Structure 1
Amino acid sequence: MAEERSQNNATPPQPRRRRIIAALTGATGSILGIKILIAFRRLNIETHLIISKWAESTLKYETSYTATNVRALADHVYNNHDMAALIATGPYRVDGMIVVTCSMKTLAGINSDLCDTLIARAAEVMIKERRKPVLAAENVR
Protein backbone atom coordinates (compact mmCIF):
# COMPACT_ATOMS: atom_id res chain seq x y z
CA MET A 1 0.00 0.00 0.00
CA ALA A 2 2.78 2.43 0.89
CA GLU A 3 4.48 1.59 -2.40
CA GLU A 4 1.24 2.39 -4.26
CA ARG A 5 0.98 5.79 -2.60
CA SER A 6 4.57 6.72 -3.45
CA GLN A 7 3.96 5.85 -7.10
CA ASN A 8 0.80 7.99 -7.19
CA ASN A 9 2.68 10.95 -5.72
CA ALA A 10 5.55 10.62 -8.18
CA THR A 11 6.07 13.72 -10.27
CA PRO A 12 5.76 13.28 -14.02
CA PRO A 13 9.04 13.26 -15.93
CA GLN A 14 10.20 16.67 -17.06
CA PRO A 15 10.38 17.27 -20.80
CA ARG A 16 13.87 17.35 -22.27
CA ARG A 17 15.39 20.81 -22.56
CA ARG A 18 15.86 22.00 -26.11
CA ARG A 19 19.41 21.32 -27.36
CA ILE A 20 21.23 23.70 -29.66
CA ILE A 21 24.76 23.48 -31.05
CA ALA A 22 26.39 26.91 -31.13
CA ALA A 23 29.63 27.27 -33.07
CA LEU A 24 31.95 30.26 -33.23
CA THR A 25 34.49 30.60 -36.03
CA GLY A 26 37.20 33.17 -36.66
CA ALA A 27 34.95 35.47 -38.67
CA THR A 28 34.52 39.01 -37.45
CA GLY A 29 31.46 39.66 -35.30
CA SER A 30 32.19 37.26 -32.45
CA ILE A 31 30.08 39.36 -30.07
CA LEU A 32 27.01 37.99 -31.87
CA GLY A 33 27.92 34.46 -30.81
CA ILE A 34 28.31 35.61 -27.22
CA LYS A 35 24.93 37.38 -27.28
CA ILE A 36 23.29 34.22 -28.64
CA LEU A 37 24.81 32.08 -25.88
CA ILE A 38 23.52 34.55 -23.28
CA ALA A 39 20.04 34.47 -24.85
CA PHE A 40 20.02 30.66 -24.94
CA ARG A 41 20.97 30.57 -21.25
CA ARG A 42 18.09 32.90 -20.37
CA LEU A 43 15.71 30.66 -22.35
CA ASN A 44 17.00 27.55 -20.52
CA ILE A 45 18.24 25.99 -23.76
CA GLU A 46 20.93 23.33 -23.42
CA THR A 47 23.92 24.58 -25.40
CA HIS A 48 26.69 22.57 -27.02
CA LEU A 49 29.52 24.96 -27.88
CA ILE A 50 32.34 24.58 -30.38
CA ILE A 51 34.92 27.37 -30.59
CA SER A 52 37.50 27.26 -33.36
CA LYS A 53 41.08 28.32 -32.62
CA TRP A 54 40.57 31.36 -34.85
CA ALA A 55 37.42 32.29 -32.92
CA GLU A 56 39.54 32.41 -29.78
CA SER A 57 41.90 34.86 -31.49
CA THR A 58 39.04 36.99 -32.79
CA LEU A 59 37.51 37.17 -29.30
CA LYS A 60 40.71 38.80 -28.01
CA TYR A 61 40.61 41.56 -30.61
CA GLU A 62 36.88 42.24 -30.75
CA THR A 63 35.59 41.76 -27.20
CA SER A 64 36.59 41.89 -23.57
CA TYR A 65 35.57 38.21 -23.24
CA THR A 66 38.14 35.46 -22.96
CA ALA A 67 37.59 32.00 -24.42
CA THR A 68 37.17 30.77 -20.83
CA ASN A 69 34.38 33.34 -20.23
CA VAL A 70 32.59 32.22 -23.39
CA ARG A 71 32.93 28.53 -22.56
CA ALA A 72 31.34 29.22 -19.16
CA LEU A 73 28.17 30.38 -20.96
CA ALA A 74 27.61 26.89 -22.43
CA ASP A 75 26.42 23.63 -20.89
CA HIS A 76 28.83 21.49 -22.94
CA VAL A 77 32.03 22.49 -24.75
CA TYR A 78 33.82 20.55 -27.49
CA ASN A 79 37.21 20.75 -29.13
CA ASN A 80 36.82 21.61 -32.82
CA HIS A 81 39.03 18.64 -33.71
CA ASP A 82 37.06 16.07 -31.68
CA MET A 83 35.47 14.23 -34.60
CA ALA A 84 34.24 11.50 -32.21
CA ALA A 85 32.13 13.94 -30.19
CA LEU A 86 28.57 12.91 -29.47
CA ILE A 87 27.17 15.87 -31.44
CA ALA A 88 28.91 14.53 -34.57
CA THR A 89 26.56 11.55 -34.67
CA GLY A 90 23.04 11.33 -36.04
CA PRO A 91 21.53 9.36 -33.13
CA TYR A 92 22.27 12.20 -30.69
CA ARG A 93 19.26 14.45 -31.20
CA VAL A 94 19.71 18.19 -31.18
CA ASP A 95 17.02 20.71 -32.04
CA GLY A 96 19.19 23.04 -34.06
CA MET A 97 22.60 24.47 -34.83
CA ILE A 98 23.85 27.99 -35.36
CA VAL A 99 27.29 29.00 -36.61
CA VAL A 100 27.76 32.65 -35.75
CA THR A 101 29.58 34.24 -37.26
CA CYS A 102 30.38 31.72 -39.97
CA SER A 103 33.66 32.23 -41.81
CA MET A 104 33.74 31.68 -45.55
CA LYS A 105 36.19 28.80 -44.99
CA THR A 106 33.68 27.05 -42.72
CA LEU A 107 30.81 27.79 -45.11
CA ALA A 108 32.80 26.33 -48.01
CA GLY A 109 33.72 23.25 -45.97
CA ILE A 110 30.08 22.60 -45.08
CA ASN A 111 28.93 23.20 -48.66
CA SER A 112 31.53 20.88 -50.18
CA ASP A 113 31.21 18.11 -47.54
CA LEU A 114 34.82 18.75 -46.47
CA CYS A 115 34.33 17.86 -42.84
CA ASP A 116 37.77 18.36 -41.37
CA THR A 117 36.45 20.07 -38.20
CA LEU A 118 33.74 19.29 -35.69
CA ILE A 119 31.87 22.44 -36.73
CA ALA A 120 31.63 21.23 -40.34
CA ARG A 121 30.87 17.65 -39.30
CA ALA A 122 28.07 18.69 -36.92
CA ALA A 123 26.54 20.87 -39.66
CA GLU A 124 26.77 17.97 -42.11
CA VAL A 125 24.99 15.69 -39.62
CA MET A 126 22.26 18.30 -39.20
CA ILE A 127 21.73 18.42 -42.96
CA LYS A 128 21.81 14.62 -43.25
CA GLU A 129 19.16 14.41 -40.51
CA ARG A 130 17.03 16.91 -42.48
CA ARG A 131 17.50 19.74 -40.01
CA LYS A 132 18.78 23.05 -41.25
CA PRO A 133 21.76 24.64 -39.52
CA VAL A 134 21.74 28.43 -39.36
CA LEU A 135 24.93 29.89 -40.83
CA ALA A 136 25.30 33.57 -39.98
CA ALA A 137 27.94 34.49 -42.55
CA GLU A 138 30.40 37.27 -41.95
CA ASN A 139 29.94 40.55 -43.80
CA VAL A 140 31.65 40.02 -47.15
CA ARG A 141 32.23 42.84 -49.59
Structure 2
Amino acid sequence: MTRLIVGITGASGAVYGVRLLERARALGVHTHLVATPAGLLNVHHELGLDRQALEALADEAHSPGAVGACIASGSYATDAMVVAPCTMKTLAAVAHGMGDNLLTRAADVTLKERRRLVLMVRETPFNLAHLRNMTAVTEMGGIVFPPLPAFYHRPQSIAELVDETVERVLQVAGIGQATPREWRGL
Protein backbone atom coordinates (compact mmCIF):
# COMPACT_ATOMS: atom_id res chain seq x y z
CA MET A 1 0.00 0.00 0.00
CA THR A 2 1.29 3.43 -0.92
CA ARG A 3 1.40 5.81 2.06
CA LEU A 4 1.54 9.59 1.67
CA ILE A 5 1.83 12.21 4.39
CA VAL A 6 0.10 15.49 3.55
CA GLY A 7 0.88 18.61 5.54
CA ILE A 8 -1.22 21.74 5.27
CA THR A 9 0.18 24.98 6.70
CA GLY A 10 -1.05 28.56 6.86
CA ALA A 11 0.14 29.84 3.50
CA SER A 12 -2.41 30.74 0.87
CA GLY A 13 -3.22 27.88 -1.46
CA ALA A 14 -5.14 25.46 0.76
CA VAL A 15 -6.82 24.19 -2.41
CA TYR A 16 -3.59 22.36 -3.27
CA GLY A 17 -3.62 20.34 -0.06
CA VAL A 18 -7.32 19.58 -0.29
CA ARG A 19 -7.11 18.55 -3.94
CA LEU A 20 -4.04 16.44 -3.17
CA LEU A 21 -6.02 14.52 -0.53
CA GLU A 22 -8.94 14.05 -2.92
CA ARG A 23 -6.73 12.83 -5.74
CA ALA A 24 -4.73 10.52 -3.48
CA ARG A 25 -7.96 8.91 -2.30
CA ALA A 26 -9.09 8.42 -5.92
CA LEU A 27 -5.75 6.71 -6.64
CA GLY A 28 -6.03 4.38 -3.63
CA VAL A 29 -3.15 6.06 -1.78
CA HIS A 30 -3.36 5.89 2.04
CA THR A 31 -3.01 9.41 3.44
CA HIS A 32 -1.90 10.84 6.77
CA LEU A 33 -2.90 14.47 7.28
CA VAL A 34 -1.24 17.01 9.57
CA ALA A 35 -2.78 20.47 9.39
CA THR A 36 -1.36 23.29 11.48
CA PRO A 37 -3.72 25.69 13.28
CA ALA A 38 -2.98 28.36 10.67
CA GLY A 39 -3.52 25.75 7.95
CA LEU A 40 -6.97 24.99 9.34
CA LEU A 41 -7.76 28.71 9.39
CA ASN A 42 -6.78 29.02 5.74
CA VAL A 43 -8.74 25.94 4.71
CA HIS A 44 -11.79 27.49 6.33
CA HIS A 45 -11.16 30.99 4.95
CA GLU A 46 -10.28 29.97 1.39
CA LEU A 47 -12.51 26.91 0.93
CA GLY A 48 -15.19 27.09 3.63
CA LEU A 49 -14.22 23.71 5.11
CA ASP A 50 -14.04 23.05 8.84
CA ARG A 51 -11.58 20.69 10.56
CA GLN A 52 -14.00 17.76 10.42
CA ALA A 53 -14.60 18.14 6.68
CA LEU A 54 -10.87 18.44 6.01
CA GLU A 55 -9.95 15.45 8.16
CA ALA A 56 -12.65 13.37 6.42
CA LEU A 57 -10.61 13.67 3.21
CA ALA A 58 -7.69 11.77 4.79
CA ASP A 59 -7.42 8.15 5.88
CA GLU A 60 -5.76 9.27 9.12
CA ALA A 61 -5.56 12.74 10.63
CA HIS A 62 -3.05 13.76 13.28
CA SER A 63 -2.79 16.84 15.45
CA PRO A 64 0.45 18.83 15.08
CA GLY A 65 1.03 18.25 18.79
CA ALA A 66 0.82 14.46 18.47
CA VAL A 67 4.57 13.98 18.25
CA GLY A 68 4.17 10.32 19.22
CA ALA A 69 2.13 9.50 16.12
CA CYS A 70 3.30 6.72 13.82
CA ILE A 71 4.57 9.16 11.16
CA ALA A 72 7.05 10.63 13.68
CA SER A 73 9.17 7.49 13.38
CA GLY A 74 11.32 6.22 10.55
CA SER A 75 10.23 2.69 11.43
CA TYR A 76 6.79 3.53 10.03
CA ALA A 77 7.33 3.23 6.30
CA THR A 78 5.81 5.93 4.13
CA ASP A 79 6.49 6.60 0.48
CA ALA A 80 6.54 10.39 0.47
CA MET A 81 5.43 13.58 2.17
CA VAL A 82 4.00 16.70 0.55
CA VAL A 83 3.44 20.00 2.36
CA ALA A 84 0.77 21.82 0.38
CA PRO A 85 0.93 24.73 0.89
CA CYS A 86 4.18 25.25 2.77
CA THR A 87 4.83 28.46 4.72
CA MET A 88 8.26 30.01 4.92
CA LYS A 89 8.18 29.23 8.66
CA THR A 90 7.72 25.53 7.93
CA LEU A 91 10.39 25.67 5.23
CA ALA A 92 12.81 27.24 7.73
CA ALA A 93 12.00 24.63 10.39
CA VAL A 94 12.64 21.81 7.92
CA ALA A 95 15.81 23.43 6.60
CA HIS A 96 17.20 23.69 10.12
CA GLY A 97 16.01 20.31 11.44
CA MET A 98 13.56 21.78 13.95
CA GLY A 99 11.09 18.98 14.45
CA ASP A 100 9.11 20.97 16.99
CA ASN A 101 5.69 19.63 15.95
CA LEU A 102 4.44 16.54 14.14
CA LEU A 103 4.48 18.18 10.72
CA THR A 104 8.12 19.28 10.92
CA ARG A 105 9.13 16.05 12.69
CA ALA A 106 7.53 13.98 9.92
CA ALA A 107 9.38 16.08 7.33
CA ASP A 108 12.64 15.53 9.20
CA VAL A 109 11.98 11.78 9.32
CA THR A 110 11.16 11.79 5.61
CA LEU A 111 14.53 13.39 4.86
CA LYS A 112 16.57 11.22 7.22
CA GLU A 113 15.02 8.07 5.78
CA ARG A 114 15.82 9.31 2.25
CA ARG A 115 12.18 9.38 1.23
CA ARG A 116 10.66 12.02 -1.02
CA LEU A 117 9.73 15.32 0.57
CA VAL A 118 7.96 17.89 -1.61
CA LEU A 119 7.41 21.40 -0.26
CA MET A 120 4.92 23.54 -2.17
CA VAL A 121 6.27 26.85 -0.91
CA ARG A 122 3.91 29.81 -1.15
CA GLU A 123 5.52 33.21 -0.89
CA THR A 124 6.65 35.88 -3.27
CA PRO A 125 8.94 37.61 -3.73
CA PHE A 126 11.58 35.50 -1.99
CA ASN A 127 14.10 37.07 0.35
CA LEU A 128 17.60 35.73 0.90
CA ALA A 129 16.56 33.68 3.94
CA HIS A 130 13.85 31.96 1.88
CA LEU A 131 16.30 31.16 -0.90
CA ARG A 132 18.93 29.83 1.51
CA ASN A 133 16.37 27.64 3.23
CA MET A 134 15.22 26.28 -0.14
CA THR A 135 18.84 25.53 -1.00
CA ALA A 136 19.36 23.76 2.35
CA VAL A 137 16.26 21.58 1.89
CA THR A 138 17.32 20.76 -1.68
CA GLU A 139 20.82 19.81 -0.51
CA MET A 140 19.21 17.44 2.02
CA GLY A 141 17.25 15.73 -0.75
CA GLY A 142 13.97 17.59 -0.50
CA ILE A 143 12.14 19.00 -3.49
CA VAL A 144 11.04 22.62 -3.47
CA PHE A 145 8.01 22.86 -5.72
CA PRO A 146 6.32 26.28 -5.82
CA PRO A 147 2.88 25.77 -7.36
CA LEU A 148 3.55 27.70 -10.55
CA PRO A 149 0.92 26.95 -13.15
CA ALA A 150 1.67 25.74 -16.65
CA PHE A 151 -0.24 27.49 -19.41
CA TYR A 152 0.89 25.54 -22.48
CA HIS A 153 -2.09 23.18 -22.14
CA ARG A 154 -4.40 26.22 -22.24
CA PRO A 155 -6.32 25.60 -19.02
CA GLN A 156 -9.87 26.90 -19.00
CA SER A 157 -10.34 27.22 -15.24
CA ILE A 158 -8.55 27.60 -11.93
CA ALA A 159 -9.57 24.02 -11.15
CA GLU A 160 -7.66 22.83 -14.24
CA LEU A 161 -4.57 24.77 -13.12
CA VAL A 162 -4.78 23.26 -9.64
CA ASP A 163 -5.41 19.74 -10.92
CA GLU A 164 -2.46 19.83 -13.29
CA THR A 165 -0.15 21.09 -10.54
CA VAL A 166 -1.39 18.39 -8.14
CA GLU A 167 -0.82 15.66 -10.74
CA ARG A 168 2.72 16.90 -11.28
CA VAL A 169 3.36 17.02 -7.51
CA LEU A 170 2.09 13.46 -7.14
CA GLN A 171 4.41 12.39 -9.95
CA VAL A 172 7.39 14.16 -8.37
CA ALA A 173 6.50 12.53 -5.04
CA GLY A 174 6.83 9.15 -6.75
CA ILE A 175 3.15 8.22 -6.86
CA GLY A 176 3.14 6.08 -9.99
CA GLN A 177 -0.59 6.40 -10.63
CA ALA A 178 -0.35 10.17 -11.19
CA THR A 179 -1.31 11.37 -14.64
CA PRO A 180 0.08 14.82 -15.42
CA ARG A 181 -0.33 15.94 -19.01
CA GLU A 182 2.88 15.53 -20.97
CA TRP A 183 4.29 18.21 -23.22
CA ARG A 184 4.34 16.66 -26.69
CA GLY A 185 6.32 19.40 -28.38
CA LEU A 186 5.30 21.86 -31.04
| Counterpart code for 1:127 | L
Q: TM-score of the superposition, structure 1-length normalised?
A: 0.86
Choose between structure 1 and 2 for higher RCO, CA contacts under 8 A separated by at least 6 residues: 1
Corresponding residue number in structure 1 for 2:120: 136
Structure 1: gaps spanning 5 or more residues: 1-16
Structure 1 residue 51 corresponds to structure 2 residue 35: yes
**Which is greater in Rg?**
1
| Counterpart code for 2:19 | K
Q: State the identity as a percent.
A: 35
Structure 2: gaps spanning 5 or more residues: 126-186
Deviation at 1:139, TM superposition (A): 3.1
Partner residue of 1:78 out of 62, 78, 84? 62
Structure 1 moving runs of 4+ over 2 Å? none
1:10-21 aligned within 5 A: 17-21=1-5
Corresponding residue number in structure 2 for 1:25: 9
| Larger deviation, residues 131-140 vs 90-99 | 131-140
- The separation in 1 between residues aligned to 2:53 and 2:20, in whole angstroms, is 14
- The separation in 2 between residues aligned to 1:37 and 1:91, in whole angstroms, is 23
- The separation in 2 between residues aligned to 1:121 and 1:55, in whole angstroms, is 17
RMSD: 0.8
Corresponding residue number in structure 1 for 2:94: 110
- The separation in 2 between residues aligned to 1:87 and 1:51, in whole angstroms, is 14
- The separation in 2 between residues aligned to 1:132 and 1:91, in whole angstroms, is 16
- The separation in 1 between residues aligned to 2:81 and 2:13, in whole angstroms, is 18
